[in-house]
A and B are shown apart, each in its own frame.
Chain A
């Protein structure tokens, strides 16, 4: 919010309530003194203020019932029932029906038993609607359906016979008289177990199916509209009030909902989400399926999925939101939330023990109910028969159709809040502003709505892709850990196989995982399986990129050796360049030494050599600084080799000689030093020394390789030290060997 907004609002509001224009001007002059901008905004708001009202009113008119259709609050409510002028008296004639006895309160009216004289004599049920609705249109709407209603002929459906208007102008409906009890009450009274309840339920589904086939949607399925009577001792459920809900249907507003508290529209608890919507969406057969789902839920658990009192109490806005958004608890779940006595009572009415009841509902029954209760009507059962059949399958222990939601579906639930609902004619998109928890009705045209749908689908897919990627990475990590286990068991071949399957190493593998790569790489190197080793080390390089120091430079060293041995010269060059990129500025003596060794294994290009200058100086400083008799034998190689590559043979030889005298170097390293020395001597024309050093080195190296390379140990030399030495041996042999000339020094091919 801009800083000035509250001020603007306050001044505007105060000014608006000043009716006298002169005073208002004065007020504005004072409060906005010196602030032209503020004055301008307030002036604009005041100008808008008057014109805004009709604009908003016009808009509002499209959202609500026209005033005539809203029953005035004063006359509605409890008064409507008690008022003797409006209520019909016993014994009076309503149309051709004589009222005999008041049977009860229906959803939105009073029900009487009446007697029909002509054309046949029979007892009927007569329901007078007590809402203050436009009787003419109610009757008209009913007439429209009358034909279809007349075609219905089903054991489980109570026929609607007639409709008319009372003297006082109230609409009434005449129905087949059903003497029975609400289905839920009936089942409880008789302690019907789950199976028996399901069998009753199936019959109800058949009735609804029959009606749907005739094109009639009930719209108001709830326990009080399903009465159970006895035919020859067998319970028969009968669905009543067909066609009435549509006839009296109006748009839901606060007024109609709260006029007579729960009585008016009946419990919203049974309303499908689309029925509750303000736009009065075209409700189809699937709304009935939803209500059937609620019925089933109540039959199984003793309560509907959403508490009716809560729904009515929270206000229209909240009610819609609940129905639209809140996922109800699964039947088995809700039982677990009940307190002891409630749970016991519920179970007793179902002729079962609490734990047994819960486990009975878990699984298939849960899924059947939840499928019928889907917010998205395309995901519900298509037909009442479909629902009935699944229940039947369950009773016969056959596999049901309803399935638990797939992962894709769960993702779509995440975007459920941005659901696009299509209405006949225009398109209504209901979007929820997540941050504010508000809902706005946006009237979009068709194109825009489809666009939104596509975007949402895309979003869902992207989320899926991201999840898939994470999944892949997790899999990779698991494989690497498995490889680590194999390594610890010294099953290197197995570990190698496992790592082969990992195509992209994930970021941040575990420490064990990294070691696994290294160990397997080592093992492969020791067995001279260069191509494989190269691949492993390449992966290790990828991982190492995240971790600059320590064991990593050892890896680089090993990798360099591997690349050369596999004759991968171009990659090797690239690798050297990349290594210097990463480590070129290290001040770590160890690291510097290893980089030098790695990059100078073969005669380097000038550019590379130049880039290694600082490293060389670093290593040399480090080396020179050491006490000649101390344990830095291993450090000889980098500096010796470096000087050699620079062409500074005398210095190189000097370093090497010193190194040979020092402790703390492996046998392999000694061999390497000898070779560097040999080459340096040779270049200085010191043939004898060159020859003898070469011979000594060759002897040791060949002996080692003769017996097969093990991993090596710290004393003898790691495998890569040996291979390193061998590479140098080749170079030295080619140089000196049979006394060939100086000028046939092999350059990098």
Chain B
């Protein structure tokens, strides 16, 4: 299946994870994020700030009033979980 602009729908099952475009990655991450949000809103929030907002650990920590190590841990866990979800879908 061809990827890229002009595609009408993103069929997750058809995707080869190694082959995705950056845009598709963002899509997948976002979908996975909706699930994570249900499970752990705090962690989801960190994903948004770090990934979409591009903030550094320090900035996130300041923003949320937590320690940097916490941010680092949450971010690592979130990434692993999100990717795990994405892998499971494709």
Contact = CB atoms under 8 A, between A and B. Distances in A.
Contact of B48 (A46, A315, A438): A438
A446 B86 CA distance: 23
Contact of B23 (A13, A426, A436, A440): A426
A60 B51 contact: yes
B69 to A, nearest CB: 10
A438 B77 contact: no
A317 B55 contact: yes
B46 to A, nearest CB: 10
B53 A316 contact: yes
A453 interface: no
B52 A441 contact: yes
Contact of B44 (A60, A254, A425, A436): A436
A55 B39 contact: no
B35 interface: no
A441 B9 CA distance: 17
B44 A56 contact: no
A58 interface: yes
Interface in A18-64: 44-49, 51-53, 55-56, 58-64
B89 interface: no
A18 to B, nearest CB: 13
A648 to B, nearest CB: 71
B83 A52 contact: yes
Given A317-B55, A436-B41, A13 B77 contact: yes
B20 A438 contact: no
**Which residue among A46, A48, A64 has the maximum number of chain B CB atoms within 10 Å of its CB?**
A48
A439 B44 CA distance: 11
B26 A63 contact: yes
Interface string A298-326: 00000000000000000111000000000
Given A9-B73, A56-B29, A441-B26, A49 B79 contact: yes
Given A13-B73, A317-B55, A445-B10, A440 B30 contact: yes
A443 interface: yes
Contact of A44 (B5, B7, B41, B84): B84
B27 interface: yes
A534 B45 CA distance: 63
Contact of A55 (B49, B81, B83): B83
Interface residues of A, number: 45
Interface string A312-351: 0001110000000000000000000000000000000000
B16 interface: no
Contacts of B52: 63, 278, 439-441
B55 A440 contact: no
A13 B44 CA distance: 17
A634 interface: no
Contacts of A190: none
A15 to B, nearest CB: 11
Contacts of B67: none
B14 interface: no
Nearest to B77: A9
Contacts of B49: 317
B22 interface: yes
Given A49-B80, A52-B82, A439-B48, A426 B5 contact: yes
Interface string A513-546: 0000000000000000000000000000000000
A166 interface: no
A5 B39 contact: yes
A253 B54 contact: yes
B88 to A, nearest CB: 9
Contacts of A45: 77, 80-81, 84
Contacts of A315: 55, 59, 63
Given A1-B39, A45-B84, A59 B29 contact: yes
Contacts of A52: 79-80, 82-83
Interface in B1-18: 5, 7-10, 17
14 contacts: A9-B77, A47-B84, A59-B28, A62-B21, A62-B22, A62-B25, A253-B54, A315-B55, A317-B55, A426-B23, A435-B41, A440-B33, A440-B52, A445-B7
Nearest first, the 5 closest Cβ-Cβ pairs linking A and B are A59-B25, A62-B22, A52-B83, A45-B80, A9-B77
